[in-house]
Amino acid sequence: MIEMLRIRGAFGGDADHDTHARELDAFAAKDGRAAAELSRARLLAMKERLG
């Protein structure tokens, strides 16, 4: 969790907010496929960033 807070510059900015917004829109539209793809892509990017 501490490492996640340290990378806030890359995650937590406008681009990250937009990614979350698209993910939430997919959930709200009950588009499971899009929601899963967006969520997975975001988590994989975070995993890569954490090393």
pLDDT at position 7, please? 63
Residue 46 confidence (pLDDT): 80
The answer to the question of residue 50 being in a domain is: yes
* Whole-number Å distance between alpha carbons of 45 and 41: 6
Instruction: Tell me, yes or no, whether 33 lies in a domain.
Output: yes
Q: What is the pLDDT of residue 12?
A: 64
* Residues with Cβ within 8 Å of residue 11, at least 6 apart in sequence: 4, 46, 49
Kindly give the parts of the chain with pLDDT less than 50. Answer: none
**What totals of helices (H) and strands (E) does the chain contain, helices first?**
3, 0
> What is the per-residue pLDDT for 11?
57
The length of the chain in residues reads 51
How many domains are there within the chain?
1
Q: Has this prediction a pTM greater than 0.85? A: no
In a domain, 16, yes or no: no
Q: What is the pLDDT of residue 34?
A: 97
Domain that holds residue 45: 24-51
